[in-house]
Amino acid sequence: MATDGGTDDAGRFWQDDEPTRAQAALDPGPGWPQPSPETSGDDWIVQPTPPTGTGPLPVTPTAGAPTAGASMAPPPGSHGGPPWTAIVAAVVAGVLLLGAGGAALWFFGSDGEPAAGPPSTSTPTTTVTSTPPPTTTVTSTATPPPTTTVTTTAAPPSAAEQLSDKRDESLARLDTDGDWAVSLSAKQDGTRDDRQVTSSGSHVFRLPDILELHEGYESTYAWTDVYLLKAEDLGSTVGADDDKIWMTIVDPGWLTSREDAEAWCAVEFSWLSGDDLDNACYPRQLQAP
- 10-residue mean pLDDT profile of the chain (289 residues): values are 48 50 50 48 49 49 46 49 70 75 62 52 61 70 75 84 96 94 95 93 96 96 95 78 89 95 96 94 92
- Start-to-end Cα distance in the chain: 199
Rg (CA), the chain: 81
User: CA triplet 276, 185, 287: central angle to 5 degrees?
Assistant: 110
User: Rounded to whole angstroms, how far apart are CA atoms 183 and 194?
Assistant: 18
Nearest alpha-carbon partner for 81 in 73, 89, 70? 73
Q: Which amino acid is at 104?
A: A
pLDDT value for 142: 72
pLDDT value for 20: 52
Task: Find out whether 283 and 180 touch, Cβ atoms under 8 Å.
Answer: yes
Q: Give every CB contact of residue 187 below 8 A, 6+ residues apart in sequence.
A: 193, 205, 210, 213, 245, 246
pLDDT value for 78: 47
pLDDT value for 61: 47
pLDDT value for 122: 56
Count Cα neighbours of 169 within 13 Å in the Cβ-side half-sphere: 10
pLDDT value for 99: 72
pLDDT value for 39: 47
CA 110 to chain centre: 61
Task: Find out whether 183 and 284 touch, Cβ atoms under 8 Å.
Answer: yes
Q: In terms of C-beta density within 10 A (0-12 exposed, 13-18 middle, 19 or more buried), how is residue 76 classed?
A: exposed
pLDDT value for 272: 95
User: Rounded to whole angstroms, how far apart are CA atoms 225 and 170?
Assistant: 9
**What Cα–Cα distance (Å) separates residue 289 from each residue in 74, 162, 173, 233?**
177, 24, 16, 6
pLDDT value for 285: 94
